[in-house]
Structure 1
Amino acid sequence: MPRSSPLSYMDEQSEAAECFENILRNVSTPGASQLFQGQLTHKSRCSTCGTETSTDDPFWSLPLELVGSDRDYKVVDGVADFFRESHVSGPNQLFCDRCDAKSDATMKFEIKHQPEVLMLMLKRFKFDYGYMNYVKMNHSVRIPYKLQIPPSGAQSQTYELYAFVEHVGELKCGRYTVTIRSQDDEKWYHFNDSEVRLLSFQPFQLDITERSRDAYLLFYRKVAAAETSSTSEAFKEDTRDKNKQRDHDAKTTGNKAVEGAAAGSQDKMDRRETEKKRRVNDRGDRGGGNSLAKQGDEKIMTEWKSECQPSSEGRPDIP
């Protein structure tokens, strides 16, 4: 069916998120909701009378607004903004039952139940009143491999990225692709229609974040506390092993240097002694008789004793 209105185009491009949520809602087994559905508590406080109210609502995805300048948008900052307390006033005032009127208020979201799989939706499509049409926001987004939900507090849970959907192209002419990390070999694969290929450059090899101008849906899986602890212990153990190896190498290098110096000194002394004996023999051979050999030997011994006389420090001067 042809689509003619701007809103129709918007519906078409948001089809990935809406279609996925509709499928999850209509799955007959409770497994889908146990994996993908979380629960938020919406708290508000009237600025006039101080009355606090709270309501619990299920959610399938957390929407993140791509607002601000043209600089990189950080998912970590978007999550922090989502859970940060905000103040509403003017046309956004909330109705207070106690005051029986609209009033300024503060409100915030708290997560009551964290899903096993968390889906973040980056809101890349907005209505531009200048063009009176929907446009795509091509912000570069920094996607973290690991994420804390909420960012702080005792209830904070660690999640790690395992898949992300990208919208490639413009609002009226684009397509969706998905990149998934396999649980079999822990490598990232790219799915583009019927084509599936292993990425030649694996994400998150050089940094803990990756940059994308097309990322639209991010899928994070919950990391068990034991798994996080084992990862941390493995990192600490690896660091300890590296430090031990470094100390061992330094000690070995130092010992080799000392042994080399001692061996060099001993070798020098052996060569001097050999040279003196050779000189003695040479003199004896040239004299042709025992008397000359004896005289040469006595002369050499006299030279040796002269050279090895104790110094003022009480030790032989050995050149």
Structure 2
Amino acid sequence: MDGRLTDIFSGFGVNINFVPTVKRPVMDQISSSSPPVTQHQHQQTSEDSTSKFVAHLQGWTGPALFPLSDLKGSELDVFLPGLWVTLHVICINTFVLHTLQSQGSGRQVHLTEFTRTLASQLTVDSSVTVPVLPRLNSSSYQETSLPNVSKQRLVTVSYGEYRDMKLQGWNTPGVCGLDNSGNSCYLNAVLQCLCSTVPLVEHLLNQDTRKELAKSKCRVAEVFVRLLEEMWLGRNSSCAPVEARSVLCSILPQFNNNSQQDAQELLLFLLNALHDNLKKVAKRQMRSSIRQPRQNQNRNCATAAGDSTIVSHLFEGQLSYMILCMHCNHQAHSTQTFTVLSLPIPTDIIKCSIQDCLSLFFEQTLLTGGEQMLCSVCGLKRETAVLTCLDKPPEILLLHLKRFGCKGKNQVKLRTNVVFSMKLDLTPFLSTSVQNTSYSSYRLYAVVNHAGHLNMGHYTALCHNVLTRTWHCFDDSAVREVQDSFVQSPNAYLLLYSRRPFQKPKIHGL
């Protein structure tokens, strides 16, 4: 353990010294004034001290709480493993902090003495996460000088500073857990992803937008805005989206139960509801603009014209279809607006890439038999080739992996490990009209995972925070920071990519 921790921290230029309280070989301890030591005493002292220290570092036995003679062998096998795993996890973490703190003043902390003090402190107060150890900071504790301290870059972290940093992490804007109100993990995961969609958050938390929503009595948008405000400007580590769920269930009764629901389906319904509410605001603005002076009328009408909202601006893209009659080669073209791309997963393989799924989605399709299409030139149904491409890439690209399907007559969940990257290039799938633009490069900023089976499972979310530039895992109310390597998972179900890098949102009070 000491070698492992030393290697890890040495990469940051931090010097950590583990000083065992093991007596050196007796020949090194004997001075001219010391009484003679017999060979038997020498061997016994060396073996006892070494065996105790080795056992202590192994984390299964040791002198910190009680001597080994107090328990029988059978009790040791059952009791000590669970106790010492728990205790040593706390001990090692706390030991590292106090070692770093001690280095600033050229001191060393002995591991065995540290464990004894830690155990005593936990006996007094077991509720503290990182116990304060006054004995190690007092002058009564014997310390030795740390040689060559000035040659290393040292980090000093006090318990108070560590506590403040931890609390500050809990209160990071946009990093807030959501309580599970009864199998609502699918809702919580979707809400976390939308909470991490910075342009949407910035627009909805704008003071003018909030006033217009209140005037137009938009229930879904108002409730969602209040939840975003609590998640971005609140001071709690988690909150309960009870009001949001209640309003959603009132307009979407299919979600008004405690059964597992589909996160992708909910996401589509929620975006549609927000879009409808914001269109209501736009129409109200258009009506009011008619009564305003002429110089402001054009600007307001342009803002409210059509059905465009922040939802459609961010999430809507357009697919282009080229339809070719295989009999007369007549070509026809059509387009379709989309919000989510539902990608098929290659069958009968264990692992594939997100590019494989995209290629399968955009591959040329031949319609034969009962799927033949009517050719306007031939006047008959003919075999038809359909070529699909991306004509207008959206600002926010939502990719849905079709993990729930049929195998024969049975519904199954596809557990193929779809490997995806932080950056996604859509160039091979763009139409010729947009291939030479900068629309093709995307960055991953959120993932919804589904673990479990078809009818019984659990949703979690992984989201990138624009302020800390780090990823967080949201498991309902439990939140933890994770490394980039943790984002890749065989449980990925929804992937959210952004065409532009997010900036710190301009939110009043942030």
Does the alignment reach a TM-score above 0.5? yes
Equivalent position amino acid for 2:266 in 1: C
Q: Deviations over 1:2-41 (max 9, x none)?
A: xxxxxx9xxx766211111111122222001111111111
Displacement of 1:85 in angstroms is 2.5
Cα distance in 1, alignment partners of residues 422 and 484 from structure 2: 12
Cα distance in 2, alignment partners of residues 13 and 213 from structure 1: 20
The one of 182, 203, 218 aligned to 2:485: 203
Displacement of 1:114 in angstroms is 1.4
Checking the alignment, whether the CA contact within 8 Å between 1:36 and 1:118 is kept in structure 2 is: yes
Cα distance in 1, alignment partners of residues 427 and 369 from structure 2: 29
Displacement of 1:119 in angstroms is 0.4
Q: Does the alignment pair 1:183 with 2:441?
A: no
SS of 1:185's partner is coil
Q: Does the alignment pair 1:216 with 2:493?
A: yes
The one of 425, 442, 445 aligned to 1:148: 425
SS of 1:212's partner is coil
Checking the alignment, whether the CA contact within 8 Å between 1:46 and 1:106 is kept in structure 2 is: yes
What residue in structure 1 maps to residue 327 of structure 2? 48
Displacement of 1:165 in angstroms is 0.4
What residue in structure 2 maps to residue 22 of structure 1? 269
SS of 2:420's partner is strand
Q: 1:110 to 1:151 in 2, by over 3 A?
A: same
Structure possessing the higher radius of gyration over alpha carbons: 1
What residue in structure 1 maps to residue 311 of structure 2? 32
What residue in structure 1 maps to residue 400 of structure 2? 121
Cα distance in 2, alignment partners of residues 36 and 96 from structure 1: 33
Cα distance in 1, alignment partners of residues 465 and 446 from structure 2: 9
Cα distance in 2, alignment partners of residues 150 and 87 from structure 1: 23
Displacement of 1:183 in angstroms is 0.6
What is the percentage of aligned positions where both structures have the same residue? 30
The one of 123, 134, 138 aligned to 2:415: 138
Cα distance in 2, alignment partners of residues 167 and 75 from structure 1: 17
Pairs within 5 Å for 1:1-319? 15-27=262-274, 28-29=277-278, 30-129=309-408, 132-151=409-428, 153-155=435-437, 157-199=440-482, 201-203=483-485, 211-223=488-500
Structure 1 unaligned regions, length at least 5: 1-7, 205-209, 228-319
What residue in structure 2 maps to residue 311 of structure 1? none
Displacement of 1:97 in angstroms is 2.4
Cα distance in 2, alignment partners of residues 44 and 151 from structure 1: 19
Checking the alignment, whether the CA contact within 8 Å between 1:119 and 1:218 is kept in structure 2 is: yes
Checking the alignment, whether the CA contact within 8 Å between 1:25 and 1:33 is kept in structure 2 is: no
Q: Over aligned residue pairs, what C-alpha RMSD do you find?
A: 2.2
Q: Deviations over 1:33-78 (max 9, x none)?
A: 1111111112211111111112111101111111233231210122
Checking the alignment, whether the CA contact within 8 Å between 1:178 and 1:192 is kept in structure 2 is: yes
Higher strand share: 1
Cα distance in 1, alignment partners of residues 400 and 261 from structure 2: 10
SS of 1:144's partner is coil
Q: 1:148 to 1:13 in 2, by over 3 A?
A: farther
Checking the alignment, whether the CA contact within 8 Å between 1:111 and 1:150 is kept in structure 2 is: no
The alignment's TM-score, normalised by the length of structure 2, stands at 0.38
Equivalent position amino acid for 1:32 in 2: V
Cα distance in 1, alignment partners of residues 485 and 428 from structure 2: 23
Checking the alignment, whether the CA contact within 8 Å between 1:80 and 1:150 is kept in structure 2 is: no
The alignment's TM-score, normalised by the length of structure 1, stands at 0.60
Checking the alignment, whether the CA contact within 8 Å between 2:346 and 2:356 is kept in structure 1 is: no
Q: How many residues matched? A: 207
